[in-house]
Amino acid sequence: NAGVMQNPRHLVRRRGQEARLRCSPMKGHSHVYWYRQLPEEGLKFMVYLQKENIIDESGMPKERFSAEFPKEGPSILRIQQVVRGDSAAYFCASSPPGTGVGYTFGSGTRLTVV
Amino acid sequence: GQQVMQIPQYQHVQEGEDFTTYCNSSTTLSNIQWYKQRPGGHPVFLIQLVKSGEVKKQKRLTFQFGEAKKNSSLHITATQTTDVGTYFCSSSLYNQGGKLIFGQGTELSVKP
């Protein structure tokens, strides 16, 4: 019974490159959430998705960031033309349908922009 | 937007001392969830409180939800080095599905 799987665990990108972060939710969970955590800061909500639907993207920066959760395959958080300020830990979480009770978080992707 | 404020930001204790972190909101919360994140790790769900005045215990951890459902606390009795980490409170918003808003967290360090 695998938990939430995120890959890669660590990602280094040069300024201007693209970063793709992947997340496979727990089996039976249809809701996926992406959060960003800057060093020594809390978790900031980015986007909430269900299969083929973006439910709430109020936390996503207006430019360069996008997310999807296709019918088949993992959820993808995509950051285009990365800048140093994008360096952070990006966590994906999943929950059963209809509730926010007891998120299960993945191990995160630590993005470093050099 | 709705915010959840958490204090203190840092707490350093001697092993065996007690520890408390507090969570406050200016608006009524539908629930409170608590998470623990070890250094370098990911948040792990601890518990959810839903009812006004609710108190729950997990071994040395005691969780409370205020009568007005605007505040919560996590108390650890006789801390151990394994308690080290950052403790976050969070709340899901009414009519917004499962989206959680997190407090800033309290980082606990325990000196042996």
CB contact under 8 A, B97 and A31: yes
Closest residue in A to B91 (Cα–Cα): A100
Q: Return the half-sphere exposure (C-beta side, CA atoms, 13 A cut-off) of residue B9.
A: 4
pLDDT in tens, A26-78: 988 888 999 999 977 789 999 999 989 999 999 999 999 999 999 999 999 99
- Taking the C-alpha atoms of residue A31 and residue A89, their distance in angstroms, rounded to an integer, is 20
Q: Quote the Cα angle for B58-B4-A97, to 5°.
A: 70
The one-letter amino acid code at A20 reads R
- Do residues A19 and A11 lie in contact, with contact meaning Cβ atoms separated by under 8 Å? yes
- CA of A66, closest CA in chain B: separation in Å? 18
CA B89 to chain centre: 4
Q: Per-residue pLDDT averaged across A74-88, rounded?
A: 97
Chain B contact for A100 (CB, 8 A cutoff) = yes
The pLDDT of residue A28 is 82
Structure tokens at B26: 């200016």
pLDDT tens-digit readout, B51-65: 999 999 999 999 999
Q: At CA A47, angle to CA A62 and CA B31, rounded to 5?
A: 130
- A100: nearest CB among B6, B100, B107: B100
CB contact under 8 A, A95 and B98: yes
Taking contacts as CB-CB distances below 8 angstroms, the residues of chain A near B103 are 42
Q: Is B84 a residue whose pLDDT tops 60?
A: yes
Taking the C-alpha atoms of residue B66 and residue A74, their distance in angstroms, rounded to an integer, is 39
* pLDDT category of residue A24 using cuts at 50, 70 and 90: very high
Give the residue numbers in B contacting A (CB under 8 Å), as ranges.
6, 31, 33, 35, 41-45, 48, 88, 90, 92, 96-105, 107
pLDDT band at B97; cut points 50, 70, 90 = low
